[in-house]
């Protein structure tokens, strides 16, 4: 998400508060106050009713593209809510969906008054259908499956119609069970073991649904509501809002463990080096956390069976406070002796999301070059630390500047910024990061709801890196990534490599809804709302069209499923006047020769051509969206796949794992970690080719330079 600076965020909020001050008296508390829910009943809280009310009023007036909450929009919201609950069309019927779409009173009458009873009533029906489906699936495990029949099923049903009747749902459920069974059978499992595995799987699925809270129901509905307005408008409940802030600041107060839920028990999956957990020397990957106590002597709370996010919430805490863990050590076995580990919480850096560097050596002899690679997963910035005046606040630009200095010292010939799957982040960071590579000048233009055009510029003279460079993007590169890549391209500063980016050309701000309520505690959450559209300095926009690479490399498997163009309610492509700027260079004459060298190199590369063929085959298989449930047919398909995997192993040097029919938590933790390690070890052929292109660019740039005297 692209987020404006703190100051712009505050300014927007002040405008809204001013408008509310002079609004009609009807802008008061919700007229519907929910009664306290009975045990086991899903019902919104008073704070959630207020959040729905304020969100509906703010969105209708202050969104960049305001849409009136009327009967037509109400139907669209409910349609999306049904799709959020049942994306595979396995639970509801067409008649049921239609009856709710036309029921009165509709959402346009309910939401402005804080009435969210309709989505909660629909969720009650959802639970009944889940119960029915899981009961049917468990019953099917007691039967004998016939895999000689010529049957098939569609793994992706998101574009299918709702079932005509409840009876029409049964064949869909049956096909799912049969496919689950067949996958395990092809992996060598016997029928008795399959019944046990699937029985536990379906039990866990039902238990997971039963752990849904009223807060979850409200979050699902509000996501459906806000996304119906516009794809990048969202609602963050209090806990989701906290997670968002943590993701942007890349730090939290805790003990430094990554946790995972396995069979209703929380297991330590990873330990952050230098964290309290690591420094204690008493915690290990695979240890089970059975209870949590606060302080040096507080009572333990048994957490077996808890949701993972609830466990995380009580393990985290304020810096310098103490938490005690009741641990069943992985080395002790299931009946081993428990130990108590007391840890003092500290500031933990989320290092895996920080910028990282590496060096790729290309060519040989006189063409040998070293290319510095900086991988940036997000445009992060610790907003709160910056607002508090902390001069050492965490930011992507600062980290990249430090890495560039190290690469310069290592005497690299060129730099490649890897923004693949970087979904964006802070707008200021995109501007500042661009400033590391250009002298100074405009970076991005923003058009607000009042059609006022604002230009964000790099005002710091000089560069941190002025040598050959490129930016690697893919369909997952969005928002702030596109701002940076577009500016580098427009200035002629570097090459854009990869595949077309996401196409998100909108700017969001986050509005704390508690500003409109009473009390100091966060209760209503936050509204992430689109407030502007950004434009390139050449006057174009990345909206819908994205950033086109100068040299096109292999796309991802699901590129056609991603991107702004896949949204039916995306804002249109438009243009504005170009901003005056002075190009930093002109690489257009290099693009043709670089493309030719790239094609020649990849044509001679067995691994690259294998990836191209594999991508085409996997894409065709996914688009066919039909799998046989005949065992003989599937075995033949599996044998073909195994042959492809063997060829891939020879090229990559990494053993690929065949489909074992298991879900993540059904495998052992050691097997899961080994699979993760194998993925990290695998050769990144696209990255290597991108580095080769930058090396070629460096060679061409060197020939451009006049001879010294």
Q: Which two tokens stand for residue 587?
A: 């690489």
- The span from the CA of 578 to the CA of 438, in Å, is 18
Residues 543, 572 contacting (CB under 8 angstroms): yes
Residues 377, 353 contacting (CB under 8 angstroms): yes
pLDDT at 427: 92
The contacts of residue 132 (CB under 8 Å, 6+ apart) are none
> Does residue 58 sit in helix, strand or coil?
helix
Residue 298, Cβ neighbours under 10 Å: how many? 12
Which pTM was predicted? 0.88
Residues 516, 476 contacting (CB under 8 angstroms): no
- The span from the CA of 577 to the CA of 584, in Å, is 20
Angle, nearest 10°, between helix axes 631-652 and 169-186?
A: 50
- The span from the CA of 33 to the CA of 43, in Å, is 11
Q: Domain limits of the chain?
A: 6-240, 251-349, 351-584
- The span from the CA of 507 to the CA of 504, in Å, is 9
List residues with catalytic annotation.
479, 490, 504
> Does residue 105 sit in helix, strand or coil?
coil
Q: Which two tokens stand for residue 4?
A: 């404006």
- Among residues 476, 471, 496, the alpha carbon closest in space to that of 548 is found at 496
At the fourth CATH level, which superfamily is domain 251-349?
PDZ domain (2.30.42.10)
The rounded radius of gyration (Å) of the Cα atoms in the chain is 27
- What long-range pairs does 599-603 form, CB within 8 A, spacing at least 24? 601/689, 601/692, 602/689
- Among residues 578, 569, 572, the alpha carbon closest in space to that of 545 is found at 572
Residues of the chain with pLDDT under 70: 1-40, 519-522, 651-657, 705-709
Q: Residue 531, exposed/middle/buried by CB under 10 A (0-12, 13-18, 19+)?
A: buried
CA distances from 429 to 10, 58, 188, 238, 405 (A): 18, 27, 51, 25, 18
pLDDT at 644: 77
What is the H or E stretch that residue 507 is in?
strand 506-512
Nearest 10 degrees: CA dihedral of 171, 177, 183, 187? -140
Angle, nearest 10°, between helix axes 117-140 and 169-186?
A: 50
**Count of all residues that appear for the chain in the document:** 709
- The span from the CA of 590 to the CA of 370, in Å, is 20
The contacts of residue 381 (CB under 8 Å, 6+ apart) are 248, 249, 393, 394, 395, 396, 425, 426, 428, 429
- The span from the CA of 338 to the CA of 330, in Å, is 10
What is the H or E stretch that residue 498 is in?
strand 495-498
CA distances from 291 to 196, 210, 259, 361 (A): 28, 22, 14, 49
pLDDT at 31: 60
Q: How far is CA 65 from the centre of its chain?
A: 24
Distance from first CA to last CA of the chain, Å, rounded? Answer: 50
pLDDT at 10: 30
Q: Which two tokens stand for residue 436?
A: 């590391």
- Find the angle CA(386)-CA(542)-CA(434) to the nearest 5 degrees: 40
The contacts of residue 502 (CB under 8 Å, 6+ apart) are 423, 475, 476, 477, 478, 479, 481, 482, 546, 562, 563, 564
Q: Which two tokens stand for residue 428?
A: 């200021």
Task: Write out the CATH class of domain 351-584.
Answer: alpha beta
Residues 359, 404 contacting (CB under 8 angstroms): no
Q: Phi and psi (nearest 5°) for 502? A: -60, -45
The strand pairing partners of 446, in sequence order, are 454, 534
- The span from the CA of 106 to the CA of 510, in Å, is 28
- The span from the CA of 508 to the CA of 230, in Å, is 11
């Amino acid at each position: 998400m692209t987020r404006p600076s703190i100051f712009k965020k505050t300014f927007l909020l002040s405008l809204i508060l001013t408008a509310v001050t002079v609004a009609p008296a009807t802008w008061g508390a919700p007229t519907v106050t929910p009664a306290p829910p009975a045990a086991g009943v899903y019902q919104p809280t008073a704070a959630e009713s207020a959040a729905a009310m304020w969100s509906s009023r703010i969105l209708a007036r202050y969104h960049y593209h305001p849409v009136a909450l009327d009967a037509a929009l109400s139907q669209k919201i409910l349609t999306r809510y049904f799709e959020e609950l049942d994306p595979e069309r396995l639970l509801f019927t067409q008649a049921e969906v239609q009856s709710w779409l036309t029921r009165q009173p509709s959402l346009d009458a309910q939401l402005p008054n804080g009435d969210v009873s309709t989505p909660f009533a629909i969720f009650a029906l959802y639970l009944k259908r889940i119960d029915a489906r899981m009961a049917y699936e468990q019953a099917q495990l007691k039967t004998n499956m016939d895999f000689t029949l010529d049957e098939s099923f569609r793994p992706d049903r998101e574009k299918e119609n709702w079932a005509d009747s409840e009876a029409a749902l049964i064949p869909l459920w049956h096909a799912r069970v049969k496919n689950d069974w067949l996958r395990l059978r092809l992996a060598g499992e016997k029928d008795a073991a399959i019944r046990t595995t699937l029985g536990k799987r379906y039990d866990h699925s039902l238990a997971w649904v039963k752990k849904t809270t009223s807060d979850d129901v409200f979050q699902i509905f509000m996501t459906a509501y806000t996304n119906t307005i516009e794809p990048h408008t969202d609602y963050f409940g209090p806990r989701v809002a906290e997670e968002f802030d943590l993701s942007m600041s890349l730090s939290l107060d805790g003990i430094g463990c990554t946790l995972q839920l396995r069979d209703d028990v929380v297991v330590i999956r990873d330990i952050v080096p230098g964290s309290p957990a690591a420094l204690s020397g008493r915690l290990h990957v695979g240890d089970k956390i059975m209870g949590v106590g606060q302080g040096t002597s507080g009572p333990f709370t048994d957490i077996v069976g808890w949701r993972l996010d609830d466990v995380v919430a009580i393990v985290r805490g304020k810096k310098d406070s103490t938490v005690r863990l009741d641990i069943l050590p992985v080395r002790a076995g299931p009946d081993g002796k428990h130990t108590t580990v007391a840890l003092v919480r500290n500031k933990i850096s989320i290092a895996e999301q920080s910028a990282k560097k590496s060096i790729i050596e290309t060519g040989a002899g006189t063409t040998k070059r070293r290319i510095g690679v900086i991988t940036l997963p997000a445009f992060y910035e610790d907003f709160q630390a910056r607002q508090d005046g902390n001069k050492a606040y965490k930011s992507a630009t600062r980290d990249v500047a430090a890495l560039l200095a190290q690469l310069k010292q290592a005497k690299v010939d060129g730099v490649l910024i890897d923004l693949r799957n970087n979904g964006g982040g802070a707008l200021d960071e995109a501007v500042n990061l661009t400033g590391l590579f250009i002298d100074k000048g405009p970076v991005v233009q923003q058009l607000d709801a009042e059609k006022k055009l604002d230009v964000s510029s790099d005002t710091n003279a000089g560069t941190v890196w002025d040598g050959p460079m490129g930016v690697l993007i893919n369909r997952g590169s969005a928002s702030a990534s596109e701002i940076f890549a577009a500016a580098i391209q427009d200035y002629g500063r570097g090459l854009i490599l990869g595949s077309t980016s996401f196409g998100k050309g909108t700017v969001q701000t986050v509005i704390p809804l508690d500003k409109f309520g009473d009390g100091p505690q966060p209760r209503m959450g936050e509204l992430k709302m689109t407030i502007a559209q950004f434009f390139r300095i050449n006057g174009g926009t990345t909206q819908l069209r994205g950033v086109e690479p100068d040299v096109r490399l292999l796309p991802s498997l699901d590129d056609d499923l991603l991107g702004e163009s896949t949204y039916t309610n995306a804002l249109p492509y438009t243009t504005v006047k170009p901003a005056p700027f002075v190009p930093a260079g002109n690489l257009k004459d290099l693009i043709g020769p670089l493309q030719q060298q790239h094609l020649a190199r990849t044509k001679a590369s067995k691994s690259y051509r294998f990836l191209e063929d594999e991508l085409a085959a996997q894409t065709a298989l996914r688009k066919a969206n039909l799998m046989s449930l005949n065992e003989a047919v599937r075995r033949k398909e599996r044998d073909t796949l195994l042959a492809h995997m063997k060829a891939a192993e020879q090229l990559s040097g990494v053993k690929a794992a065949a489909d074992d029919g298991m879900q993540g938590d059904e495998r052992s933790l050691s097997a899961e970690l080994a699979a993760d390690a194998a993925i990290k070890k695998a050769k990144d052929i696209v990255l290597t080719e991108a580095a080769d292109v930058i090396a070629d660019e460096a060679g061409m740039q060197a020939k451009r330079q006049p001879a010294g005297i």
